[in-house]
């Protein structure tokens, strides 16, 4: 909780556009080319052994990292997913950084499920930063996970012209007695606007 609050504080000055433009730029999963995914290790198939078998190319913000397991028994695709077992504390997974083109629309998604219906939402974020690392845009969408895999997705547009670097993040709520799985956390650079932002 504390570390995530610090993260939110860090991003606190960002303009929150949410996903208000999602209905305007209605990009579906049918629109994306799987090869254009810009998130490293998006399917959690690669393990960073030096980081105690945690997923490579991801950062974990939590008071405890022993609640996170690379699970090979429940997967959306591939051979492993992230399992967060009965989180007694809030946990946030943060992707490696990727380049942002502020004149483009981005489509981000992940797939989630739980072993019981959760009354606390799981949240997917896209954060954009300027070249100095200052936060300039935040986009997000929530979902209440159930026992079936569900897609959590949104589109992001109208970045500030100073946006240079992006990261996606997944916040798993504090929810004892419910376990969560996350897989295929992806982002795609889609259409470019036909005008330049100033
Ligand atoms: Ca996977």
Residue 147 forms part of a structural domain = yes
How far is the centre of ligand 1, averaged over its atoms, from the C-alpha of 84 (Å)? 14
- C-alpha closest to that of 187 among 137, 134, 126, 133: 126
How far is the centre of ligand 1, averaged over its atoms, from the C-alpha of 21 (Å)? 29
Residue 12 forms part of a structural domain = yes
How far is the centre of ligand 1, averaged over its atoms, from the C-alpha of 142 (Å)? 21
Residue 174 forms part of a structural domain = yes
Residue 196 forms part of a structural domain = no
- C-alpha closest to that of 61 among 154, 149, 125, 136: 125
Instruction: Give residue-wise pLDDT tens across range 76-129.
Output: 999 999 999 989 999 999 999 999 999 999 999 999 999 998 899 999 999 999
Count of domains forming the chain: 1
Q: Are 74 and 120 in contact (CB under 8 A)?
A: no
How far is the centre of ligand 1, averaged over its atoms, from the C-alpha of 46 (Å)? 9
Residue-number span of the structural domain to which 129 is assigned: 2-191
% of the chain at pLDDT higher than 90? 64
How far is the centre of ligand 1, averaged over its atoms, from the C-alpha of 27 (Å)? 23
How far is the centre of ligand 1, averaged over its atoms, from the C-alpha of 197 (Å)? 37
How far is the centre of ligand 1, averaged over its atoms, from the C-alpha of 68 (Å)? 14
How far is the centre of ligand 1, averaged over its atoms, from the C-alpha of 162 (Å)? 33
- C-alpha closest to that of 36 among 27, 23, 45, 48: 27
pLDDT greater than 60 at residue 30: yes
Residue 198 forms part of a structural domain = no
**In 10 A of CB 169, how many CB atoms?**
22
* Strand locations in the chain (E): 15-16, 47-48, 54-55, 58-61, 68-71, 81-84, 91-95, 98-99, 104-114, 122-129, 135-143, 150-156, 165-172, 180-192
Residue 197 forms part of a structural domain = no
How far is the centre of ligand 1, averaged over its atoms, from the C-alpha of 161 (Å)? 34
How far is the centre of ligand 1, averaged over its atoms, from the C-alpha of 83 (Å)? 11
Please report, for residues 14, 33, 69, 96, the alpha-carbon distance to residue 53 in angstroms, rounded to integers and kept in the order given: 33, 30, 8, 17
Specify the CATH number for the domain of residue 61.
2.60.120.260
Q: Are 189 and 103 in contact (CB under 8 A)?
A: no
pLDDT greater than 80 at residue 35: no
pTM above 0.75, yes or no: yes
- C-alpha closest to that of 184 among 91, 110, 120, 114: 110
Residue 45 forms part of a structural domain = yes
How far is the centre of ligand 1, averaged over its atoms, from the C-alpha of 53 (Å)? 15
How far is the centre of ligand 1, averaged over its atoms, from the C-alpha of 29 (Å)? 17
Residue 97 forms part of a structural domain = yes
Q: Residue 82 in 3-state DSSP?
A: strand
What pLDDT does 27 receive?
62
Instruction: Give residue-wise pLDDT tens across range 125-166.
Output: 999 999 999 999 999 999 999 999 999 999 999 999 999 999
Q: Are 85 and 70 in contact (CB under 8 A)?
A: no
How far is the centre of ligand 1, averaged over its atoms, from the C-alpha of 125 (Å)? 19
């Amino acid at each position: 909780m504390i570390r995530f609050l610090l993260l939110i504080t860090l991003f606190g000055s960002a303009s929150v556009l949410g996903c208000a433009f999602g209905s305007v730029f209605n990009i579906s999963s049918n629109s994306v080319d799987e090869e254009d995914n810009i998130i490293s290790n998006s399917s959690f198939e690669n393990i960073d052994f030096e980081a105690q078998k945690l997923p490579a190319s991801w950062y974990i913000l939590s008071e405890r990292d022993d609640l996170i397991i690379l699970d090979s028994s429940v997967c959306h695709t591939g051979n492993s997913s992230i399992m967060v077992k009965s989180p007694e504390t809030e946990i946030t997974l943060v992707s490696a950084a990727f380049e942002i083109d502020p004149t483009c629309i981005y489509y981000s998604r992940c797939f989630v499920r739980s072993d019981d219906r959760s009354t606390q939402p799981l949240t997917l974020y896209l954060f954009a930063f300027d070249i100095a690392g200052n936060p300039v845009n935040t986009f997000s969408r929530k979902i209440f996970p159930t026992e079936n895999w569900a897609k959590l997705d949104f589109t992001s547009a109208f970045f500030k012209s100073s946006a240079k670097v992006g990261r996606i993040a997944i916040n798993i709520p504090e929810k004892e007695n419910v376990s969560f799985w996350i897989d295929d956390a992806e982002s795609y650079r889609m259409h470019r606007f036909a005008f330049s932002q100033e």
